[in-house]
Structure 1
Amino acid sequence: MFLKNAGGDLFNLKENPIKDFIKIGEELKFNPFRKTCCMYYKLEKDFEGRGYCGNCPMNSKQKKCGR
Structure 2
Amino acid sequence: MKISEIRGLGIAELQIKKSELAEELFRLKIRHAGGQLESTTGLGRLRKDIARIKTVMKEKEAAG
**Under TM normalisation by the shorter chain, which class is it?**
under 0.3
* Bigger radius of gyration among the two: 1
TM-score normalized with structure 2 length: 0.26
The structure that is helix-richer by fraction is: 2
Higher RCO (CA 8 Å, separation ≥ 6 residues): 2
TM-score normalized with structure 1 length: 0.25
